[in-house]
A and B are shown apart, each in its own frame.
Chain A
Amino acid sequence: MSRPAIAICAAMLVVPSIARAQLVGRDLPRMGTFEISGGALWSGGYSFETALANETRNPTTGTAPLTLFQGKPRLDTATGAEAHLGMYLGRRVSIEGGVQFSRPSLTVRTSADFENAPETTAASPITQYVIDGSLLYQFRSGRLGPFVSVGAGYLRQILENNSIVETGNEIHGGGGVKYWFGGGRRFGFRAEARVSSRSGGVSLDALAKRRLVPAVSAGLVYLF
């Protein structure tokens, strides 16, 4: 056998073996692969500016307003659920759309009452949805795959008895890991932490500012 023929045969032996290793070890995800995931969610809360129940002071008794009581408004932390549907644009890059659902409480802690009314927390549950889209980058395609994500979303908060609907928007960034089970690696576990910067939505102060909301989630993921 000539030397070129030996070289070609050697190449034929080697190249298929490499290709087989890729298929067995990890044929997914690839461009066009879909990923569905869902799980539990913890969403952080945030405080609003302290609200003062002020009365106009009789000028002969002082200059500062008479504060009948003060209230510390807050959107409380909440647990909920989330789901994502994504599509891979390549082995490492994917886009996904998601929805989060949670039921935080809107609370006002009253204190410093002028007539010594006991401190009280007045609460009202709200229903909160975030519908978002994200771009994800996977750092590696092994069994344990860390990723980062950025995206934006639409916030919808429904107050007690569907009486008022407040809407807003958010941008977010975060990261997490996916851990794939078994040899096929279609089925796995996904954990993620993100920070969302929200604008709009329910507000209990006059400040038109963005509010940072941390969130962590964990659940199952499936490729198809």
Chain B
Amino acid sequence: MRRIASLLVCLVCVVVFGGGVEAYLKLGTRANGRSISLTDRSVSGVTATQFQQTIAHAFSTWDSVEGVALSSQFAGFTSAPPLDDDSVSVIGFANRPNLDRVLGQTSFTFDVVTGELVESDIFFNASFQWSVAQAGETDRFDLESIALHEIGHLHGLGHSGLGETELRAGGRRVLGAEAVMFPIAFSAGTTLDRTLRADDIAGIRDLYGTDTSRRATGSISGRVTKNGVGVAGAHVVAFNPSNGKLVGGFTLDDDGSFVIAGLDPGPQVLRAEPLDDAETDSFFDATVNVDVNFKPAFSTRLIVVPIGGTARNVEIKVVPK
């Protein structure tokens, strides 16, 4: 067998923590052109038809982002379950009581020789209670919200760091988040994550943006340094004071370099913080030496993002905790 290397798995968890990579880390995969089937299995609270409609709506939410060239259409049901190594990409429910904090998961299987994406599945954990009700249902997780997150992974987005959590007995609880792609879900009963935020939109535009969209937005590149040395794995947030939009990114190497794309032109405030609101492996693989030993800090430079260009050489200096 030439292939079979499950490269990257992205999780959304319940109250505890979850796990993915730039504003939106990019996974290096693209959904366009792939055929993905839906399992015809019903679960409590969700019929196969409701499942299809909900998944279709979640796809259309991503497709309808302005300035993005994405489209999807329903191709049909299958009896194949998700997460099987069958070279068929499937979205469906699977009962995984052992994954007691995993609501959903997107997996990618690559041909290790050619690098070709062979299969990408999304499963929703049927051991939880699900809802497709318009306003949500108490104690049931909103399928559309979780589907929107997982389809973001399918499109190639990793996890966002735009969220705050608190440690409690048994794990982490989300206090607030400003990205559907944050790895930890809101509590059961809420439908707030049916709406893409600025961070999600910047991410999908970075991957699938039209030329017009790219000319209308800009980016920031720079470094996060501590005592003059680059900081890897820092979460960098660009804040637009004109409209309140928050878009995040990460430093991806030991040089502390980062790029945040898809930004509105104009002045932006930059803030760097350690990745301490979820497990670092939710964002990076083991090859990144994530440094969480520093205090959050702002750039002393108000960054002006040019139209269709990049504001460069930004440095955010942080100090150890």
Contacts and interface: CB of A to CB of B under 8 A. Distances in A.
Interface of A: 48, 51-61, 65-66, 68-69, 71, 73, 106-108, 110, 113-118, 120-124, 159-161, 163-164, 202-206
Interface string B228-243: 0000000001010111
Interface in B36-91: none
Given A68-B164, A123-B302, A124-B304, A117 B295 contact: yes
Interface string B292-321: 000111111111111101010000000000
B132 interface: no
- A-B residue pairs, 9 tightest by C-beta: A66-B176, A163-B306, A51-B241, A55-B176, A117-B296, A124-B302, A120-B298, A160-B304, A55-B178
A110 B272 CA distance: 13
A108 B237 CA distance: 15
Contacts of A118: 295, 297-298
A205 B265 CA distance: 14
Interface of B: 162-164, 173-178, 186-187, 189-190, 192, 197, 237, 239, 241-244, 246, 265-267, 269-271, 273, 295-307, 309, 311
Contacts of A116: 295-296
A208 B301 CA distance: 26
B190 A59 contact: yes
Contact of B244 (A51, A58, A113, A120): A51
A124 B303 CA distance: 7
A117 B297 contact: yes
B197 A58 contact: no
Contacts of A161: 304, 306, 311
B307 A163 contact: yes
Contacts of B176: 55-58, 61, 65-66, 68
Contact of A69 (B187, B197, B271, B301): B271
A164 B243 contact: no
Contact of A108 (B173, B186, B241, B306): B241
Contacts of A48: 241
B226 to A, nearest CB: 14
Contacts of A58: 173-177, 186-187, 190
Nearest to B240: A51
12 contacts: A55-B246, A58-B173, A61-B174, A68-B176, A106-B302, A113-B271, A114-B164, A124-B267, A124-B303, A159-B267, A163-B309, A164-B266
Contacts of B241: 48, 51, 71, 73, 108, 204-205
Contacts of A123: 300-302
A117 B273 contact: yes
A52 B243 CA distance: 9
A73 to B, nearest CB: 5
A66 B175 CA distance: 7
Contacts of B162: 55
A163 B267 contact: no
B192 A71 contact: no
A120 B295 CA distance: 14
A21 B265 CA distance: 64
Contacts of A56: 176-178, 192, 197
Nearest to B218: A163
A54 B192 contact: no
A107 B300 CA distance: 9
A65 B177 CA distance: 10
A204 B239 CA distance: 11
B306 A164 contact: yes
Contacts of B309: 163
Most chain-B Cβ atoms within 10 A of its Cβ — which of A55, A118, A160, A204? Answer: A55
Given A113-B296, A121-B300, A59 B189 contact: yes
B304 A164 contact: yes
Given A59-B187, A66-B164, A115-B273, A120 B297 contact: yes
Contacts of B174: 58, 61
Contacts of B305: 163
Nearest to A124: B302
B300 to A, nearest CB: 6
Given A69-B271, A204-B267, A124 B246 contact: no
A110 B246 CA distance: 14
B239 A53 contact: yes
Given A56-B177, A108-B241, A122-B301, A164 B187 contact: no
Given A59-B189, A122-B298, A161-B306, A110 B265 contact: no
B263 to A, nearest CB: 12
Given A124-B304, A159-B267, A164-B266, A55 B296 contact: no
A57 B267 CA distance: 26
